[in-house]
Structure 1
Amino acid sequence: MKIDWAALGSVFGVSLVVTVALVGLFTLGVVGLAKKESPRGGAALAATGAYACFAACAAAVAYGIYLIVS
């Protein structure tokens, strides 16, 4: 059995970057929803940005499931 260490490292690196990006995107969505409830202005923009972040997260998860299934 021979392990292709370069491919393994590449998969690890891409997985790490995508995971950090998705967690960051989800965090921005949560922060946007928290700002939506603040008494200051810009609530509509914060809510729109939060929902866009959540939609991007859902799209990334759906694409990952598509890659696994196909």
Structure 2
Amino acid sequence: FLWRGSELYLQIFQWDQDWQDILVLMTDETSDIDLYMGRVQFSREISRYAGLISGISVGSTFSYIYRLLK
């Protein structure tokens, strides 16, 4: 839940890396990412670690189901 929520937060405010690349390459607009760098870093860390924990839980679930089916 946190994993997708933090990624969505970055995308809504256009602070994700893909959007930053589009801004640099295609437009002359500037981003307000520098004003909120603490929030951006926190959301990126939450996304990174929650994704890791989510992957571990999925792997654990499959190994548990595999043991039950043996």
Instruction: Report the TM-score when normalising by structure 2.
Output: 0.49
Q: Name the TM-score, length of structure 1 as normaliser.
A: 0.49
Larger RCO (alpha carbons 8 Å, 6+ apart): 2
More helix by share: 1
